[in-house]
Amino acid sequence: MNSLDSSIGFRVISPDGYVGTVKEIVYGAENELSALVIATRLAKKPLVLVGVEDVLGCFEDSGSLILSSSWRSGAVEIPDAERLVV
């Protein structure tokens, strides 16, 4: 099992600092992990979808994962009306 498969609740950081917490794991074609839903502290984007390609590392022992510095450019805001996770 990939450590990202058990990353719900993990603290998310990037080179810029604290980003938020993993709220949901999204699987794509052929049941492969494709993205993470992250609850952020950003007022304009409180809940975002981030592709796994932006994950630099996942550390089960500390319950944290690190995103690349370019994660914001690929992040997709999840509007209030479409949120699946509260």
C-alpha–C-alpha distance, residues 42 and 9, integer Å: 18
Enumerate domains of the chain plus CATH numbers.
Answer: 3-75 (2.30.30.240)
Q: For 3-56, what is each residue's pLDDT tens digit?
A: 889 999 999 999 999 999 999 999 988 888 999 999 997 667 789 999 999 999
Classify residue 80 by its DSSP letter. G
C-alpha–C-alpha distance, residues 39 and 8, integer Å: 11
Is 4 within 8 Å of 12 (Cβ atoms)?
no
Which residue do the tokens 């007022």 mark? 43
Q: Is it the case that residue 1 has pLDDT exceeding 50?
A: no
Give the predicted TM-score (pTM) of the model.
Answer: 0.84
